[in-house]
Amino acid sequence: MSESVTPPELRWEPGADGVAWLTLNRPASGNALTAAQREALIAHLAEASADARIRAVVLTGAGDRHFCTGADLSVRPTPTPAPPLGMPDHPAGAVARALTNGAQRLIAAVLDCEKPVIAAVNGTAAGLGCHLAYACDLVLAVESAKFIEIFSRRGLVVDAGGAYLLTRLIGPQRAKELIFFGDDLPAAEAARLGLVNRVVPGGKLVETAADWAARLAAGPTVALGLGKRLVNRALDADRAGCLAEEALAAEINMVSEDGQEGLRAFLERRPPRFQGW
């Protein structure tokens, strides 16, 4: 997706340092996610995977109150052709189809991005917003941030990959507690549970995210992408499958330029100079 068709509600800023910033830019609406934003996010994450100039991505929200408060349900979908006579407003399969093609695609796009993705959580993350952060490879959060599994408060079943992500990150009992009660989870407690890597003062969030992203952008991009894939697959496959994928990843990485550079630097006793391929 080119920058010219990126909606103004989303800022896409690929930098010369190899770090691309994605900023949800609807602070007056709690950075709630519209369909257009969602599709632009998916496209830019795919772009980051394919663009050798991009070696790390930071995802954050505009303002200092909200990271993302979920999907914006106030925006009505684009009208479709008139349905057949007598068809109900919500036919069987419509909700599942919307979820599969919408929020679940977004979470998958973050998980499948071949470059490391850092969530810089600048405020409240609720519903889909929580899962958008949890799907990232590393999560930074300001001290005032909170995470809310809002679904049960609205009489809804958890969606957007929430049960999948939470169970793998903190185990079934803790996941059920968050999903069942929907209580506010302060950043410090989220870090204690393992949902957040580091809690930082509000004024240090951008600086810390930029520092982490720069370190990732200077690293062996192929090896990091393969390592991300291995970790994401670790709980979904059996031991034999995981070890086979690990061996294949090592084979692929060893023929990469960065893989060879790492060996040369070790033998020559100097810091490596990774190029990203």
Judge contact between 57 and 113, C-beta under 8 A.
yes
Nearest of 181, 148, 149 to residue 163 by alpha carbon: 149
In the numeric block, the tokens 């810089």 are attached to: 120
The predicted model scores a pTM of 0.89
Q: Read off the pLDDT of residues 109-157 as tens digits, 9 standing for 90 and up.
A: 999 999 999 999 999 999 999 999 999 999 999 999 999 999 999 999 9
**pLDDT, position 3:** 46
Classified by CATH at the fold level, domain 3-78+91-217 comes out as 2-enoyl-CoA Hydratase; Chain A, domain 1 (3.90.226)
Task: Quote the CA–CA distance of 180 and 129 in Å, as a whole number.
Answer: 17
223 Cβ contact partners less than 8 Å away, ≥ 6 residues apart: 253, 256, 258, 259, 262
**pLDDT, position 78:** 61
Q: What is the pLDDT along the chain (277 residues), one digit of tens a residue?
A: 444 467 889 999 999 899 999 999 999 999 999 999 999 999 999 999 999 999 999 999 999 999 999 998 776 656 567 778 877 777 777 788 888 888 999 999 999 999 999 999 999 999 999 999 999 999 999 999 999 999 999 999 999 999 999 999 999 999 999 999 999 999 999 999 999 999 999 899 999 999 999 999 999 999 999 999 999 999 888 999 999 999 999 999 999 999 999 999 999 999 999 999 9
**pLDDT, position 4:** 44
Terminal Cα distance for the chain, rounded:
23
**CA distances in angstroms from 184 to 59, 64, 84, 241, 277, listed in the order given:** 22, 17, 44, 38, 42
**CA distances in angstroms from 13 to 7, 22, 23, 174, 250, listed in the order given:** 13, 7, 8, 36, 32
**pLDDT, position 2:** 43
Task: Quote the CA–CA distance of 166 and 134 in Å, as a whole number.
Answer: 8
**pLDDT, position 76:** 62
**pLDDT, position 221:** 96
Judge contact between 19 and 58, C-beta under 8 A.
yes
Indicate the domain borders of the chain.
Answer: 3-78+91-217, 221-268
**pLDDT, position 1:** 45
**pLDDT, position 73:** 78
Task: Quote the CA–CA distance of 142 and 174 in Å, as a whole number.
Answer: 22
**pLDDT, position 92:** 76
Judge contact between 73 and 126, C-beta under 8 A.
no
